């Protein structure tokens, strides 16, 4: 017959091996969080702060690759001065969220 002490030891080992089988999944989730999710959330937060801080006179890059200087700011839309035709500026209306980057001052040398 099997002694009761021997049967108990075998039961504890199976519980411990069950917990060890979940360890790779926990490690994969941890790596996924730190390498993918966390940096993406940081980029989203930085983009949101940049969009909120836009003001008249800033030089920006749109998601379509258009460079321009902000001439008017609204809550949802911005008016960008992209060129000059004669003495009048050529302006386009873009959504705030279409702005992908803020350029350093005087990057666009001359729009005329």
**Sign of the alpha-carbon torsion through 46, 50, 52, 53:** positive
What is the mean pLDDT of the segment spanning 25-47? Answer: 94
What integer pLDDT is reported at residue 21 of this predicted model? 84
Q: Are strands 88-95 and 59-62 parallel, antiparallel or unpaired?
A: unpaired
What integer pLDDT is reported at residue 96 of this predicted model? 95
Whether the model pTM is above 0.85: no
Could you count the other beta carbons within 10 Å of the beta carbon of residue 103?
14
Predicted confidence (pLDDT) per residue in 82-111, tens digit: 998 888 999 999 999 999 999 998 888 765
Predicted confidence (pLDDT) per residue in 55-85, tens digit: 999 999 999 999 999 999 999 999 999 998 8
Query: What is the pLDDT of the chain when averaged over all its residues?
Result: 86
What integer pLDDT is reported at residue 5 of this predicted model? 54
What is the mean pLDDT of the segment spanning 28-52? Answer: 94
Query: Poorest-confidence range of 4-8, 23-27, 41-45?
Result: 4-8
Domain spanning 55-102: CATH 2.60.40: no
Residue 45, judged by CB atoms within 10 A of its CB (0-12, 13-18, 19+), counts as exposed
Domain residue ranges in the chain: 1-53, 55-102
Cα separation, 59 vs 102, whole angstroms:
6
Q: Is a pLDDT exceeding 80 seen at residue 19?
A: no
Three-class secondary structure of residue 52 per DSSP: helix
Q: How many CA atoms lie within 13 A of 77 on its CB side?
A: 6
Contact 78, 102 (CB under 8 A): no
Q: Are strands 77-85 and 67-73 parallel, antiparallel or unpaired?
A: antiparallel
């Amino acid at each position: 017959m099997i002694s009761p002490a021997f049967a108990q030891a075998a039961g504890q080992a199976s519980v411990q091996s069950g917990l060890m089988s979940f360890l790779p999944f926990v490690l994969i989730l941890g790596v996924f969080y730190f390498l993918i999710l966390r940096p993406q959330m940081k980029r989203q937060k930085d983009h949101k702060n940049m969009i909120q801080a836009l003001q008249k006179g800033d030089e920006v890059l749109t998601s379509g690759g258009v460079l321009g200087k902000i001439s008017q700011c609204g809550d949802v839309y911005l008016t960008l001065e992209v060129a000059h035709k004669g003495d009048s500026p050529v302006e386009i209306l873009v959504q705030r969220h279409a702005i992908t980057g803020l350029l350093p001052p005087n990057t666009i040398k001359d729009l005329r």
